Structure 1
């Protein structure tokens, strides 16, 4: 472990506080974490500690804010970095059993001394010793949903929506699951390598590997970083959540299909489609032109660029580019609130509001309306989101079918036959179902 000096570029606890400051100011957690890892020389052990602390504090932020509000006389006057420092110490004390309190205290007090004046050092020292002596404050003095919100660190509005839509028992199960570590899953590039050969290579370089129970051509990895291998760089696999593989697996692609992927960046589903094509083509759209190079970069790495074409376009305006009745299949993996990704991107829960959900549902409906005329008769539209609220999911399905009688809903089928006995044609996956991201998938066939 690195001691604290004037050069703290490799100290995991110091870097965690700095990173959390940036994230609390609006930066994306995954990008900040990757930037820090890439720009420092932390050991693998310190990198794991750094990542664990950052994600852990974000996941439990509402809980830690409550604790600090009860432990400090004037919490509103604390500088942001001091709050983040206290949160990191509390997280380690609660969740990192193998780290002794004396090490947590020592490093936290050194950071307080290094970054602040002696009064801050005394405050941090006093708070940590109070926790050690008396324990953490009890969460009391509020109604049941407010208490649940603080304990799970999920805003009240999300809990109310879930209670209304899936019931209290399912909501509680979801809340218990979302602060667990996310699985590291990969999708095998079926054009380049067979599963057996890839598993052998991954195990040879130190990974623990198991089959996915959610998606075909998927593996779940432990004991290594999937993005840092030569196998990844050479395109033998790509990194993708298990649930995110299902929309394309439900599409029943033919090798010569002409397919539109309407909201494609960074290209995970585009390349997945392209792997199933021979003479066919997938057209990948994104609203932002600067994201198109990432799609092509991924397509080239995966060896499928000949089957991929990219265009900058608002998916609600595809009529400006394409004639009617030209595509065999269309994927609308719509921009959404992302609430199914809370485990992987924990800050999402604090950034979104019910108003955002309702506004996004309108955008999603607009995209579906726009592409409805572009698919051939007999062709298929697959609609998917990585969120778990009905407003962006089943309500959009109902609205689309009412507006477009030329379509029929078809049952979403997956390679591993998930939830085969469900009553609905669409497929809903919640974060607690399989430990993967929350996802929604619906299918429509144009019948006239």
Structure 2
């Protein structure tokens, strides 16, 4: 294979991208988009490249477990050579339509082009050894929790945390689900079209569309890239995960209300709030100027700019900018560890620690403290995160209520009455429940004067 053609091949490009992701902390989605554009990859090659990059990131602990016995001096192994092996093993184990010969031949060619003759011989030898010996079973790992960590390719601390919170059976189910491909979902902009109309328009553009078990506002879409569709560009659908739609759905936004979206960027929930308003307004805050601009752009595309007031402000400064009791409803979609998004953003599980989660819980509580006074008597404060750890979810709510007896937690309700038989007041959606993102929602009502 000529060098020029090889260097534009999905396997070669996957090694380049993954080396940057693992060693330099590059964002996989940005690196992928830039690479696909730069090399003008066709649909087939772009799909394979995307599969290799996300697949290796998702499965890296498992892949490294399999590779380890074949590398005698790991400290001397160049980063890109290790990545080359991980990409090869991933194809052998998870992509059954790719012949072993093709995987071996191109991996050896990449080693030859990127390295020297000694590297090529080393890579050839290791690959042949893997073929002869096969990959070791995870059954060799005696400790059950450690074995689950390797099998699910999830850090041990997070596996232990999940088992402690939801039990081994549920933890296994969650961890099995996060390595599945995420659904592509959209929220229908009911200001412009009905769910039926949106479905018909997307189908007319060649998409396969099914309804969602999570919310009546969502559609699951496959067979193409939604942001390239006319329906998306017209603002009739917004790309958003189903679970993320539930926070605003639980707020029951109606007509003339004054609403604060305290952590609003990029504006998905802001535009959803605006869908329920008539003469009301949603003030949408973000600490960063460029993100405030993004909120405005998304409001314009959704054709709800007249209902949205974007503003640059740290949510922890709300009390200095807004009057007490100014808002009927306040949403705090708080900054969080994002551990409910592991199916969609697999690198999160390797970059976050338990300490990160603990530190975030302090910020989350500070934001709730800051917005509390701006909620009117009888109004509602809704708290949500896209994580599944209780220390960022119900524990934060419980700590807030201990400091603010003027609020009480009420049961979170959704249009489809999800988990209606649960004992908890808050609603936790785990990634395995509906194959949507993990999410938490709590609804708090501010008591009226004279209420107990």
Category of TM-score, reference length = shorter chain: over 0.9
Structure 1 partner of 2:299: 299
* Secondary structure, counterpart of 2:159 in structure 1: helix
Structure 2 partner of 1:344: 344
1:40 to 2:49 alignment: no
1:122 to 2:102 alignment: no
Paired residues of 1:4 and 1:111 also in contact (CA < 8 A)? no
How far the C-alpha of 1:305 sits from its partner, in A, is 1.2
Query: Which residue among 10, 13, 22 is the counterpart of 1:12?
Result: 10
In structure 1, the gaps of 5 or more residues are: none
Paired residues of 2:270 and 2:282 also in contact (CA < 8 A)? yes
Structure 2 partner of 1:229: 229
Paired residues of 2:410 and 2:443 also in contact (CA < 8 A)? yes
Measure, in 1, the Cα distance between the counterparts of 2:2 and 2:354.
43
Paired residues of 1:63 and 1:151 also in contact (CA < 8 A)? yes
Measure, in 2, the Cα distance between the counterparts of 1:79 and 1:54.
19
The aligned runs of 1:233-382 (5 Å cut-off) are 233-382=233-382
The aligned runs of 1:59-70 (5 Å cut-off) are 59-70=58-69
Decide whether aligned partners of structure 1 residues 216 and 102 sit closer, same or farther in structure 2, where only a CA change above 3 A counts.
Answer: same
CA distances 1:412-444 after superposition (whole Å, capped 9, x unpaired): 111111111111111011011110000000000
Decide whether aligned partners of structure 1 residues 4 and 269 sit closer, same or farther in structure 2, where only a CA change above 3 A counts.
Answer: farther
Measure, in 2, the Cα distance between the counterparts of 1:123 and 1:297.
52
Paired residues of 2:6 and 2:110 also in contact (CA < 8 A)? no
CA distances 1:246-301 after superposition (whole Å, capped 9, x unpaired): 00001111121111111111111111111221211111111212211111111111
Measure, in 2, the Cα distance between the counterparts of 1:193 and 1:215.
16
TM-score by length of 1: 0.97
How far the C-alpha of 1:4 sits from its partner, in A, is 5.4
Measure, in 1, the Cα distance between the counterparts of 2:225 and 2:317.
39
CA distances 1:28-67 after superposition (whole Å, capped 9, x unpaired): 2222222223333111111111111111000011111222
Moved more, 129-138 or 407-416: 129-138
The aligned runs of 1:151-190 (5 Å cut-off) are 151-190=151-190
Measure, in 2, the Cα distance between the counterparts of 1:301 and 1:39.
28
Measure, in 2, the Cα distance between the counterparts of 1:195 and 1:141.
49
* Secondary structure, counterpart of 1:42 in structure 2: coil
* Secondary structure, counterpart of 2:227 in structure 1: helix
Measure, in 2, the Cα distance between the counterparts of 1:174 and 1:365.
27
Moved more, 222-231 or 378-387: 222-231
Measure, in 2, the Cα distance between the counterparts of 1:293 and 1:14.
37
- Which aligned runs of 4 or more in structure 1 are off by greater than 6 angstroms? none
How far the C-alpha of 1:8 sits from its partner, in A, is 5.4
Measure, in 2, the Cα distance between the counterparts of 1:147 and 1:240.
34
The aligned runs of 1:99-114 (5 Å cut-off) are 99-114=98-113
How far the C-alpha of 1:7 sits from its partner, in A, is 5.7
Measure, in 2, the Cα distance between the counterparts of 1:211 and 1:110.
46
Structure 1 partner of 2:72: 73
Paired residues of 1:4 and 1:110 also in contact (CA < 8 A)? no
Q: What is the count of residue pairs matched by the alignment?
A: 446
In structure 2, the gaps of 5 or more residues are: none
Measure, in 1, the Cα distance between the counterparts of 2:35 and 2:306.
35
Structure 1 partner of 2:411: 411
Moved more, 26-35 or 405-414: 26-35
Structure 2 partner of 1:402: 402
TM-score by length of 2: 0.96
Paired residues of 1:4 and 1:107 also in contact (CA < 8 A)? no
Paired residues of 1:190 and 1:275 also in contact (CA < 8 A)? yes
Paired residues of 1:10 and 1:41 also in contact (CA < 8 A)? no
Measure, in 2, the Cα distance between the counterparts of 1:280 and 1:17.
51
Paired residues of 1:64 and 1:87 also in contact (CA < 8 A)? yes
